[in-house]
């Protein structure tokens, strides 16, 4: 399969780079009848996200290893029918399968207004209130994903791997005593960067649904808290989220364990995705050095 003189090769976790994902995005545009000229890379960490210059469209090239993109497409279309605030998919057959990656196409929403944690409260509460979800999605397996990421990372030193294993064991043991709410549909990674402002509705909508699972709402709530605390958002912003959502997860008896679990998941996931010698790897090393010491120290967004 050729793209403008280039051959589309099967991508892996280790070859998922901007020069290769751009070729995949270009081919997806051509198959959808869209012009990729002037396409701009918006993000390239978990997935590759490109914005078209010729149409209000975003192309997402999903990282290899994420298997349930068909379920994500069905989920978003069902959420749209249920009036849960979500960024809409283009009305074409999706996902495409190219070079070992799933590719999805979405309506582009111009971002003229910065997202605050408070903006996330209403769409997240709407999601958590969804009933009778007619879809098969995986159950949250934070421990399994952490274990996989530690084993798969190529940037960890022996000492770092030992430290992460010890922290993992401690969190796993404490987790056995935590009582959570009953599993329901959760976003899996709700945060400022996974929320967009819709100028048409003058409200925030959720996006980036690859982490959607059935699990306790406390996972989503602690994710918001960790992001607000670690990435330098004002405490008042998180307090406003709690007021609008109707709950502060810090008052829950399992908060400390889930906080540690969530932060460990964030560290190890980025350890798996980052390449040696990159700024992303340097941030992972810095976070590991602080692990378990200072929960107020600032992290930098990857």
pTM (two decimals): 0.91
Which stretches of the chain are DSSP H helices?
Answer: 18-31, 69-81, 117-128, 142-152, 158-175, 217-230, 235-245, 255-273, 279-290
Contact 50, 41 (CB under 8 A): yes
pLDDT tens for 233-271 read: 999 999 999 999 999 999 999 999 999 999 999 999 999
Mean pLDDT of 100-105: 96
Q: Give the mean pLDDT of the chain.
A: 94
pLDDT score for 1? 46
pLDDT score for 6? 55
Measured CA to CA, the distance from residue 63 to residue 61 in angstroms comes to 6
Contact 259, 225 (CB under 8 A): yes
pLDDT score for 5? 42
pLDDT tens for 45-63 read: 889 999 999 999 999 999 9
- Answer whether residue 130 shows pLDDT above 60: yes
pLDDT tens for 12-37 read: 988 999 999 999 999 999 999 999 99
Of 2-6, 121-125, 205-209, which gets the smallest average pLDDT?
2-6
Q: What sign for the dihedral angle of Cα 88, 92, 95, 99?
A: negative
Query: Residue 214: beta bridge partners?
Result: 139, 185
In this prediction, what percent of the chain has a pLDDT beyond 70?
98
- Answer whether residue 143 shows pLDDT above 60: yes
Measured CA to CA, the distance from residue 209 to residue 98 in angstroms comes to 20
Q: Where do the domains of the chain lie, and which CATH numbers do they carry?
A: 2-107 (3.30.200.20), 117-290 (3.90.1200.10)
| Segment (H or E) for 214 | strand 213-215
Please tell me whether the peptide bond between 238 and the residue prior to it is cis, using omega within 30 degrees of 0: no
pLDDT score for 67? 77
pLDDT score for 102? 95
Under the banding of pLDDT at 50, 70 and 90, the label for residue 2 is: very low
Under the banding of pLDDT at 50, 70 and 90, the label for residue 8 is: confident
pLDDT tens for 165-194 read: 999 999 999 999 999 999 999 999 999 999
| Segment (H or E) for 96 | strand 96-98
């Amino acid at each position: 399969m050729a793209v403008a003189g280039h051959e589309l090769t099967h991508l892996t976790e280790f070859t998922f780079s901007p020069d290769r994902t751009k070729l995949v995005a270009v081919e997806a545009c051509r198959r959808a009848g869209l012009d990729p000229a002037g396409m701009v890379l918006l993000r390239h960490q978990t997935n590759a996200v490109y914005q078209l210059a010729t149409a209000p469209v975003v192309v997402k090239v999903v990282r290899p290893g994420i298997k349930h993109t068909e379920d994500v497409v069905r989920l978003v279309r069902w959420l749209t029918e249920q009036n849960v605030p979500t960024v809409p998919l283009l009305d074409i057959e999706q996902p495409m399968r190219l070079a070992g990656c799933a590719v999805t196409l979405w309506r582009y929403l111009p971002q003229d207004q910065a997202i605050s944690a408070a903006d996330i409260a209403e769409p997240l509460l709407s999601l958590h209130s969804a009933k009778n979800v007619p879809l098969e999605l995986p159950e949250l397996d934070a421990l399994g994903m952490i274990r996989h990421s530690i084993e798969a990372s190529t940037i960890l030193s022996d000492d770092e791997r030992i430290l992460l294993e010890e922290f993992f064991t401690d969190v796993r043991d404490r987790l056995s005593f935590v009582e959570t709410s009953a599993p329901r549909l959760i976003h899996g990674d709700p945060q400022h960067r996974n929320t967009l402002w819709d100028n048409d509705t003058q409200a925030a909508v959720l996006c980036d649904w690859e982490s959607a699972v059935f699990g306790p709402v406390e996972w989503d709530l602690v994710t918001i808290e960790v992001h607000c605390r670690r990435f330098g958002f004002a405490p008042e912003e998180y307090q406003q989220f709690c007021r609008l959502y109707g709950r502060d997860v810090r008052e829950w008896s399992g908060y400390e364990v889930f906080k540690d679990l969530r932060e460990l998941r964030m560290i190890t996931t980025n350890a798996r995705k980052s390449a040696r010698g990159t700024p992303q790897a340097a941030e992972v090393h810095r976070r590991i050095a602080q692990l378990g010491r200072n929960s107020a120290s600032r992290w930098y967004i990857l």
